[in-house]
Amino acid sequence: MLLLSPISASLPPSFHRGNLIRRSIKPLGKVVAKAKENTDTGGVVETAAIVGGLVSTPVIGWSLYTLKTTGCGLPPGPAGSIGALEGVSYLVVVGIVGWSLYTKTKTGSGLPNGPFGLLGAVEGLSYLSVLAILVVFGLQFLDNGSVPGPLPSDQCFG
Centroid of chain to Cα 72: 28
Select the more confidently predicted residue: 37 or 118: 118
pLDDT above 90 for 130: yes
**Cα dihedral sign, 21-22-26-32:** positive
pLDDT at 143: 86
Q: pLDDT-derived band of residue 110, with 50, 70 and 90 as boundaries?
A: confident
Query: Phi/psi class of residue 112: alpha, beta or left (left: φ > 0; alpha: ψ in -120 to 50)?
Result: beta
Distance CA 98, CA 84 (A): 21
Dump pLDDT digits (tens) for 51-77.
Answer: 999 999 999 999 999 989 988 888 888
Mean pLDDT confidence for 118-130: 95
